Amino acid sequence: MTVHTHHSLVPAPAVHHWLTPVPTKVFRSEVQPSDVDAVQRILASSRFFSQMEIEVAAEMVEDHLAQGDRSEYRYLFADHDGQPIGFSCYGPIACTIGSYDLYWLAVHDDHRNAGLGRRVMAETERLVAEPPESGRRLYVETSSRAQYEPTRAFYLRCGYKIDATLADYYSPGDHKVVLVKPLR
């Protein structure tokens, strides 16, 4: 079953006075069975997502594990001490040439405010733009709700532009905001 969700996440920064800068992460694209639980843990730490959305994200990881390279979902994980603390999920948009969706971008709450979200985003963009992907544009879809204002601000700071707003898409008064960034 293919299920898409587009509530990408980079929520309002939490203030952690005890938080020290995150050291250089190990990035990996290989998906491991333990990543199903890791993705759920990372998303739950945000307190942004419903249980249903978290379950959809887990199904997407399971889809990739079952289908391998044939899966429409690609992943980038940021590991710290052998544990995933951030990730992105992206993939090509069917029937397009070089257009990609960013389905998820999330960092565990304990590791926010140290630049990890920007590093995961930059590495994801690099992976999409370079062969074998050779993507031209990366699209992000998110909610218009006030809760997602920090998310939209993050993408705008990363060079994305609002390309469209679809009224009442998620529910009455909750519009879909589509952002895009040319990659070359």
pLDDT digits over 120-163, tens only?
Answer: 999 999 999 999 999 999 999 999 999 899 999 999 999 999 99
Q: Is residue 9 situated within a structural domain?
A: no
Q: Is residue 45 situated within a structural domain?
A: yes
How far apart, in whole angstroms, are the C-alpha atoms of residue 181 and residue 164?
13
What integer pLDDT is reported at residue 25 of this predicted model? Answer: 63
Q: Is residue 21 situated within a structural domain?
A: no
Higher pLDDT, 46 or 36: 36
pTM equals: 0.85
pLDDT digits over 32-44, tens only?
Answer: 999 999 999 999 9
Count structural domains, the chain. 1
User: What's the burial of 2, exposed, middle or buried (CB within 10 Å: 0-12/13-18/19+)?
Assistant: exposed
With the CA atoms of 62, 65, 70 and 76 taken in that order, what torsion angle do they form, in degrees rounded to the nearest 10?
90
Report residue 52 CA to chain centroid gap.
17
How far apart, in whole angstroms, are the C-alpha atoms of residue 57 and residue 54?
5
Tokens of 55: 């379950």
Residues 161-175, mean pLDDT to the nearest whole number: 97
User: Is the CB of residue 115 less than 8 Å from the CB of residue 48?
Assistant: no
How far apart, in whole angstroms, are the C-alpha atoms of residue 116 and residue 118?
5
Q: Is residue 13 situated within a structural domain?
A: no
Q: Is residue 39 situated within a structural domain?
A: yes
Domain of residue 30: give its range.
26-182
Q: Is residue 2 situated within a structural domain?
A: no
**CATH number where 122 lies:** 3.40.630.30
- Spatial neighbors of 52 by CB under 8 A, at least 6 apart, are none
